[in-house]
Amino acid sequence: MRATPQSALRAPLNGMLGAEANVRLLRVLALAQTPLASGELARRAALGRTSIYPALESLERAGIVTFVGAGAQRQVALRTQHPLARPIVELFRAEDQRLVDLLAALGEVAKGLKPSPVGVWVEGLSHPLNDIVSCWVLGAPKTLTQLTDAFWQQLEPIEREFDVHVEVHGTTRSELAARVPPEESDVLDDAVVLAGAIPRSVRHLDEDSPKGHEEHDTRGRRLGIALAAKPKRDTGLVRAARSQIAERSKKASPGEQRELREWARILAMSPARVRRFLTDPGERATRLRQTLPALGILSPAERDRVLKARTDDEARQAVIAGRRR
């Protein structure tokens, strides 16, 4: 349905805020509260220098911006005499303050974590499609699960107050170095540190025994591949895994109990999703595979063949070959 034109007198914000370039330029000018050269204005608004002129002409016609000076020295400013200038400034200040308050609230939680993490930060705030707050917690392998769990448990009131979704990722030094190699270090340029060290100052460091840590992850992944290769329709395997979880939970430490609860939720998914998770290369799946609750599903002979496998395909074939015998 074609939109009916509205009066510029009755609805002036249609023209002022009706295009993203207009909104970006007004945001910069409202927060700057000082005239800016066109090049600096384009830079702050993340727009092409030549592309801002049609938007500026539109905003000048609406009377909300004005040009100061002449020639090469001409600058752009918010026209504060406009009756809507003050509400527009307050709107963008409120938008800006929302992020400041959100990061402060997350920072309070991060600084209260015990034991103290090496660092906690937020990534991806400048990504154009990112509407999720991605928090990273850097810690030692032995305490990482405890830290991420404690952080996650305190997020509900923050998510509700600011109407956002916060994801918590745990990482060790070696995992961070592998995820962000030196040639891709710019991905952390916009990281906002909430507590501890700046990511750039620690990501190049390795664990005390990175080789052993990597081998441990590889073994967990191959065991996951072997479990995923078991018969697809054997519901008895899922029941056996749940039974093992219940039994292990009786004697597990609080940290392990938390991981076993995560496994219980995963096993409640469809068989296809469970199989995908068992072989997922992501951080969460890699961490949880270190406490695989269903190893009893594999026979001792199968486990032995899997652990001796030199490739992922050999690990898969170790179980398939066992079924054919």
**Coil, helix or strand at residue 178:** helix
Q: What is the CATH number of domain 96-201?
A: 3.30.460
**pLDDT classification of 282: cutoffs 50, 70, 90:** confident
> What are the residues facing 117 on neighbouring strands?
none
Residue with the larger pLDDT of the pair 320 and 143: 143
Residues 6+ apart with CB under 8 A from 197: 118, 119, 138
What's the mean pLDDT in 79-103? Answer: 92
How far, in Å, are 93, 141, 276 from residue 14 at the CA level?
20, 53, 47
Asked if residue 133 lies in contact with residue 87, where contact means CB atoms within 8 angstroms, the answer is no
Q: Looking at the predicted structure, is the pLDDT value of residue 317 above 70?
A: yes
Taking the C-alpha atoms of residue 39 and residue 292, their distance in angstroms, rounded to an integer, is: 56
pLDDT in tens, 121-166: 998 776 665 678 889 999 888 889 999 999 999 999 999 999 888 9
**Average pLDDT over the chain, rounded to whole?**
80
Which residue bears the tokens 């600058």? 75
Comparison of pLDDT for 127 and 213, the residue scoring more:
127
Query: CB-hemisphere CA count at 13 Å for 148?
Result: 25
Determine how many CB atoms are found less than 10 A away from the CB of residue 33. Answer: 11
The tens digit of pLDDT for each residue in 166-185 reads 989 998 887 887 777 655 55
Residue 208 confidence (pLDDT) above 50: no
pLDDT tier, 189 (very low <50, low <70, confident <90, very high otherwise): low
Identify the pLDDT of residue 241.
76
**Nearest CA-CA partner of 198 in 104, 106, 123, 102:** 123
Q: Residue 22: its pLDDT value, please?
A: 92
- In 252-289, which positions are buried (b, 16+ CB within 10 angstroms) versus exposed (e)? beeeeebbbebbeebbeeeeeebbebbbeeebebbbbb
User: How do the domains of the chain map onto residue ranges?
Assistant: 13-83, 96-201, 210-324
Pairing of the two strands 119-123 and 165-171: unpaired
Q: How many helices and strands, by DSSP H and E, does the chain display?
A: 15, 7
DSSP single-letter state for residue 294: T
Terminal-to-terminal C-alpha distance of the chain: 67
CATH topology of domain 13-83: Arc Repressor Mutant, subunit A (1.10.10)
* pLDDT at 10 (0 to 100): 81
Residue carrying structure tokens 């496998």: 309
**Model confidence at 64: pLDDT above 90:** yes
CA distance 57 to 66: 10
| Per-residue model confidence as pLDDT tens digits over 13-30 | 888 888 899 999 999 999
CA dihedral 31, 35, 36, 37 (to 10 degrees): 160
Q: What's the confidence (pLDDT) of residue 235?
A: 56
How crowded is the C-beta side of 299, counted as CA atoms within 13 Å? Answer: 10
